[in-house]
Chains A and B, each alone.
Chain A
Amino acid sequence: QSALTQPASVSGSPGQSITISCTGTRSDVGKYNYVSWYQQHPGKAPKVMIYDVSKRPSGVSNRFSGSKSGNTASLTISGLQAEDEADYYCSSYTNSSTLKMFGGGTKLTVL
């Protein structure tokens, strides 16, 4: 089964807002409210930034928000900061035998 579809890269200037999309199907993103977003800095383990579509773990900045419409989930980062530069991955549960899948990842560059 193909991975969820994310843009390979996005960029923005400090203070701006950016949105990363994660497109699946009605068998995964469209079916379940179990979309998560992860931030990964080079050489580090992924860190969950959003879970269950729009919930934010304790300690994660409220500049990070998540949403979903149909088969597409989105991560929005407002007030971009240099430290936000990282790779971002989405994940979703799926009703296939794979059970869980990831997006291909998006490299965020803060200009």
Chain B
Amino acid sequence: QVQLVQSGAEVKKPGASVKVSCMASGYTFTGYYMHWVRQAPGQGLEWMGRINPNSGDSNYVQKFQGRVTMTRDTSISTAYMELSRLRSDDTAIYYCVVDTGMDVWGQGTTVTVSS
């Protein structure tokens, strides 16, 4: 079955960067877009962007342009989302989501930004 396993929780200081990984299994990794979604505490879901694991091309929401980078390593079926110049309002749970026709979500990675 399709499964996404994300890296563990992170605590970062303002201005730092964080890189979250998402290891995929159960399907052809290069065949489907990988999306990244975040959820701030007590808030709704926010789509951040997506990467085409086959080509490496990515699309980002404008508010994250210049701060987010989505990459992948096809040899280990893993996608990455790196967010730089972290602020306190980046504190959230970050999810990877693969759309194989219907979405499958990772378990989420909590990123806490605090001085």
Interface, chain A (partner B; CB < 8 A): 3, 36, 38, 45-48, 51-52, 55, 57, 89, 91, 97-105
| Nearest CB in chain B: distance from A73 CB, A | 15
Stretch from B21-29, B41-49, B66-74, B79-87 forming part of the interface with A: B41-49
| Nearest CB in chain B: distance from A71 CB, A | 19
Q: Please name 22 pairs of A and B residues whose Cβ atoms are closer than 8 Å in the assembled complex, sorted by A.
A: A3-B44, A36-B103, A38-B103, A45-B95, A45-B106, A45-B108, A46-B105, A48-B104, A48-B105, A51-B101, A51-B102, A52-B102, A89-B45, A97-B61, A99-B49, A99-B50, A101-B47, A102-B37, A102-B44, A102-B46, A104-B44, A105-B45
Interface of A is mostly: strand
Which of B61, B102, B106, B108 is close to A98, meaning CB atoms less than 8 Å apart? B61
- A48 cross-chain contacts in B, Cβ below 8 A: 102-105
Indicate the size class of the contact surface on chain B. Answer: 20 to 34
Interface, chain B (partner A; CB < 8 A): 35, 37, 44-47, 49-50, 59, 61-62, 95, 101-108
